[in-house]
Structure 1
């Protein structure tokens, strides 16, 4: 699947994590936020994403995995929208594949 032929979306939580790094380093958050919002459409949490996140978090907890809630929300966003998740972070996201996450690790 070629990402270049698709519209790229960024979950609100991923934008938050990205901007947090800039804020922590004392860099201009507003400038970076505008750049990201120009390049990507930001997807905010809604009821469907909330319910999917709860379902995923409970399922993974029962399987013995504790995944950061930010990662749960990001995976829930992709699954709810039926879109693949492009990430280099392979610590937790592969666990979501059996719950419907389509994972991309390169463009």
Structure 2
């Protein structure tokens, strides 16, 4: 069953590209309780040839963090700041990063360059 998280502060958040590498046997994941954002869930399932199997795999391995008011507020604040400085990024990436920032997560990704400018907002990498 997919579950939302409440109250924990030391989670790890995983992006779609890392999930794909894991499923294809290209990498191992750290031994830790693992969580993904609802955006990652969406991206992963829509890209799989067998969506039912993908959903089952995710339900077995990960808990899903669903966007709440706090995450949306954080994403909006960051978006406004990035817009003012002319540094806007893709909305999906912004929402995934906002989950990590708001919930004090470390973000695991192969595409650090897409997120590097968000370190000043508190984003940390695994």
Is the structural similarity TM-score above 0.5?
yes
Secondary structure of residue in 2 paired with 1:92: helix
State the partner residue of 1:61: 83
Q: Deviations over 1:45-90 (max 9, x none)?
A: 1000110111111111212112111001000000111111111112
Q: Scaled by the length of structure 1, what TM-score is found? A: 0.84
Residue 85 of structure 1 pairs with residue 111 of structure 2:
no
Q: Scaled by the length of structure 2, what TM-score is found? A: 0.72
Superposed displacement of residue 43, structure 1: 0.6
State the partner residue of 1:8: 34
State the partner residue of 1:29: 51
Higher helix fraction (1 or 2) = 1
Secondary structure of residue in 2 paired with 1:91: helix
d(CA) in 2 for partners of 1:102 and 1:41? Answer: 20
* Aligned length in residues: 97
Superposition CA RMSD, Å: 1.1
Q: Unpaired segments of 5 or more residues in structure 2?
A: 1-29
Residue 72 of structure 1 pairs with residue 94 of structure 2:
yes
**Displacement over 3 Å in runs of 4+:** none
State the partner residue of 1:94: 116
State the partner residue of 2:74: 52
